[in-house]
Structure 1
Amino acid sequence: MSYPDIVLASSSPRRRELLAQLGVNFTLVSADIDETPQPGETPVAYVQRLAQQKARAGLARLSQPMPVLGADTIVVADNQILGKPANFADFNRTMQLLSGRCHQVMTAIALLNHQRCLTQLVTTDVCFRQLQIHEIDHYWHSGEPQDKAGGYGIQGLAAKFVRRINGSYTGVVGLPLCETEQLLQQWQEQA
């Protein structure tokens, strides 16, 4: 099946690489939005709102109408959103929280234009083994955690911390390929 040409509203190299695996023709726009959670907003509502806002911000930057794909990924433990670490102390607190237990990674995707919007939420359980203090320190100093939701990238050095996952690996990386392909098919069928 051929897919429509789309715009990816993201500056994430991981999302670009994943979307390219589907064989979709796409161009890129950046989508800078305010990512501050709203008072009382649940993690599910938050991640879905950000995916849609990113897609809308991308759509606003286009000179010609095209479908825009926006995505956002968050890490959630104890119903708390764990963002990108502000500093080592914040990162250490996050890793201590994730150590030896399971948490959720939620990725929302939104495909939209001026007439319609399709969305999908994918939640994956990720279980870490018990982490040692020296491992946390070494991982921080690798430089990898600084720009990652929840302070880790499953596709990188933190893979050795993961005992198991239940759900979408590519969703944890940042773009659930199975669900993205289904969204593109649905878009094409409704055209």
Structure 2
Amino acid sequence: MLLQDKLKDKQLILASQSPRRRELLAGLGLEFSTLSLNIDESFDREIYKANQITEYLSAKKANAYSDLKLNEIIITSDTTVWANNESLEKPENREDAYRMIKALSNNTHSVYTSVTIKSVDKEVTFTAETKVTFAELTDEEIYFYIDQYKPFDKAGAYGIQEWIGYIGVEKIDGSYFNVMGLPVHQLYKELQKF
């Protein structure tokens, strides 16, 4: 049975304002609404590392929505770029973005995205990892990208689907869509179980 038919009596809610996540979920051919959850996304950096960060925050977002109705399924997500044993989240400013991209240059990093799917009687969190290898980038290329594309809403200060992905990504091992912020192939499989 197609997922669209299986979920026809359910109301899907994507708790994200990310245009990339909305676009990716829409690509599955599913109808959904969106909402924004205003939660504290801080975490203890001594306790949480790599995918533990995204799993913790994704579940925290899902559990922040307390008005779940019987026919509703909420989807929350969190993405981090893990490089040199450090979590690179959204950059605070131009210099922070430069620092992050410079750390990715001529290096391989992991992108972790965790997704939590929650209904009234079920909750599951899963994580995808994609390894991305960047070529060596010049300072001129890094600043051009930051100034032209303003990647301040993106983990690791880059969007793989943008100019820097075209010129910088040498190799990718895992889901491309995961790097954009939503591992849709896994999400499709997990939604089949709801």
User: In 1, distance between residues paired with 2:71 and 2:52?
Assistant: 27
SS at match of 1:52: helix
The normalised TM-score by structure 1 is 0.91
Give 1:46's aligned residue: 53
**Corresponding position of 1:106:** 112
**Which of residues 17, 28, 35 is equivalent to 1:29?**
35
Partner of 2:124, secondary structure, is strand
Match of 1:93?
A: 99
Q: Which residue of 1 aligns with 2:193?
A: 186
Give yes or no for contact 1:71–1:109 (8 Å, CA) kept in 2: yes
The one of 152, 167, 176 equivalent to 1:169 is 176
Q: CA deviation at 1:64?
A: 6.2
What is the identity percentage for the equivalent residue pairs of Structure 1 and Structure 2?
A: 37
Q: Deviations over 1:119-143 (max 9, x none)?
A: 2100000000000010011111113
Higher helix proportion: 1
The alpha-carbon deviation at position 79 of structure 1 amounts to 2.2
Distance across 2 between alignment mates of 1:75 and 1:120: 16
Q: How does 1:1-191 map to 2 (within 5 A)?
A: 1=2, 2-4=5-7, 5-38=11-44, 39-57=46-64, 59-62=65-68, 65-159=71-165, 160-187=167-194
SS at 2:149's partner residue?
coil
Partner of 1:55: helix, strand, or coil?
A: helix
Q: Residue type matched to 1:82 in 2?
A: L
Worse-matched range after superposition: 159-168 or 36-45: 36-45
CA deviation after TM superposition for structure 1 residue 61, in Å: 4.8
Question: How far, CA to CA, are the matches of 2:27 and 2:158 in structure 1?
Answer: 23
What displacement does 1:87 show? 1.6
Tell me how far apart the structure 2 counterparts of residues 24 and 152 of structure 1 sit (CA, whole Å).
Answer: 27
Query: Whole-Å Cα distance in 1 between the matches of residues 67 and 38 of structure 2?
Result: 11
Q: Which piece of structure 1 moves more, 102-111 or 62-71?
A: 62-71
Counterpart CA distance in 1 for 2:181 and 2:20 is 7
CA contact (8 A) 1:144 1:153 kept: no
Amino acid of the structure 2 residue aligned with 1:37: F
Q: Is the 8 A contact 1:84 1:151 kept in 2?
A: yes
Deviations 1:3-29 (A, max 9, x none): 423111111111111101111121111
Q: Cα distance 1:112–1:13, how it changes in 2: closer, same or farther (>3 A)? A: same
Over the aligned positions, Cα root-mean-square deviation in angstroms equals: 1.5
Contact conserved, 1:29 with 1:61, CA < 8 A, in 2?
Answer: no
Structure 1 residues not aligned, in runs of 5+: none
TM-score (normalizing by structure 2): 0.90
Is contact 1:9-1:69 (8 Å) kept?
yes
- Contact preservation (8 Å) 2:70, 2:119: no
Inter-CA distance 186–64: structure 2 relative to 1 (3 Å threshold): closer
Between the two proteins, the alignment pairs up a number of residues equal to: 186
